[in-house]
Amino acid sequence: MKQTAGPVLTAWKALLTVMYGLPILWIVLTSFKSSGDVFSTSSALIFSPTTEAYRDVLTADLLKPLSQSVLIATGTTVLVLLIAIPAAYGLARTRGHLTSIGLALLIVLQMMPQTATVIPLFQVFGSWTLLDSTVGVILADTALLAPFATLLLRPFFRSVPPELEEAGSIDGASLMRTFVSIVVPVARNGIFTVGTLVFLLAWGEFLYAVNFFLSPGEYPLSVLLAQQVSAFGINWPGLMALAVVTSIPILIVFTSTYRLLRDGLTVGAVK
């Protein structure tokens, strides 16, 4: 049966399209404006585009923040997966008190306000000399995202039929080998989904980075953006050009994993 949408639903759909399309459109349009055109009503939509803002933003100075972002996001993704994949498998295949306690802890840690954890981590990292280092930020981001990743991965491991593993163990393969060569490949969709999400979240993280890096030269893109937008006298075209630059990797990751995200996101979050 073909569903025909009523006028109310069509209007609502149009409103949603504007609500989510407009901010994106505005970021891109503004990044091509000159400072003079930004707030002028007559040139809201029709203006002569200029790449001035991009020329100001895309300088050699941007290489360091960009490489910091890449380093932090990939480092965090790898480390989170190294920890969360075995943990999610362990929690999927065991039961008893330890498993229940583990799950309860993960739920609590996943919900911790980051503004609360940044306070003691600053002190702890200070005494472990992890402040002002990229490794410190990666470790903090991993602690932030590993609980969420483990909980999201667990259902994917539960859906791997145990018979597959039993077949492996009859062949005499060790627990570890069965896990690496049988279980992990079967659960790869879940691992890709979770890995993508961790990458996206680590790319946007800025609270740990802004506080743990003591020298602004080490800041990743997200922190540059956060700092410029809270400054007085914002240069909007420059800021929006920086926002576009920060979002391009997200767009690439998003377009290549959209289907996985759309279908995989709802698995662990609710069910």
Site for other proteins in 49-108 (CB under 8 A): 82-84, 86-87, 89-91, 93-96, 98-100, 102-105, 107-108
Q: Quick one: tokens of 49?
A: 């585009």
Minimum distance from residue 18 beta carbon to other proteins (Å): 10
Residues within window 169-228 making contact with other proteins, judged by CB under 8 A? 169, 175, 179, 200, 203-204, 206-207, 211, 222, 225-226
Q: Would you tell me how many other CB atoms lie within 10 Å of the CB of residue 253?
A: 18
To the nearest 10 degrees (0 to 180), the angle between helices 188-204 and 236-269 is 150
Residues within window 138-177 making contact with other proteins, judged by CB under 8 A? 139-140, 142-143, 146-147, 150-151, 154-155, 158-159, 169, 175
Of 167, 229, 252, 256, the one binding other proteins (CB under 8 A) is: 229
Residues within window 28-47 making contact with other proteins, judged by CB under 8 A? 30, 39, 41, 44
Spatial separation of the C-alpha atoms in residues 35 and 238, rounded to whole Å: 9
What secondary structure letter does DSSP report for 3? P
Q: Which of 102, 108, 111 is nearest to 83 (CA)?
A: 102
Minimum distance from residue 2 beta carbon to other proteins (Å): 9
Region of 24-32, 50-58, 59-67 interacting with other proteins (CB under 8 A) = 24-32
Of 43, 50, 74, 117, the one binding other proteins (CB under 8 A) is: 117
Cβ partners under 8 Å of residue 181, min gap 6: 168, 173
Q: What are phi and psi of 214, to 5 degrees?
A: -90, -25
Minimum distance from residue 151 beta carbon to other proteins (Å): 8
Size of the site for other proteins (CB under 8 A): 106
CA distances (Å), origin 6, targets 9, 18, 234 = 5, 19, 44
